[in-house]
Amino acid sequence: MSDRIEERIQLSPLQIESIQLLADGNSAKQIAYRMGLTEFTVQWNIRMAKERLGVKKETALVARAFREQWIA
């Protein structure tokens, strides 16, 4: 029997929205424009989401978000 307790990873609403727009095929620049943010802020949020989920590529980030049903 495993004593491992699965920790639920939390992403901010801003990170989730950025990932959704990324999944829709938008670049960081396009996401920034649509969300009224700087491109740096979008890139930072995506980088932090990848780090939190332990993935290295944006495709893996989007795939995980779909699996977890954070995005549709």
Residue 4 has pLDDT above 80, yes or no: no
Q: What is the pLDDT of residue 9?
A: 78
Predicted local confidence at residue 29, as pLDDT:
97
More confidently predicted of 5 and 17: 17
Query: Which CATH number describes the domain made up of 13-67?
Result: 1.10.10.10
Q: What is the pLDDT of residue 7?
A: 56
pTM comes to 0.84
Q: Count of alpha carbons within 13 Å of 34, Cβ hemisphere only?
A: 16
5 — pLDDT class (breaks 50, 70, 90): very low
State how far the Cα of 65 lies from the Cα of 61, in Å rounded to an integer: 6
For residue 45, pLDDT over 90 is answered with yes
Domain residue spans of the chain: 13-67
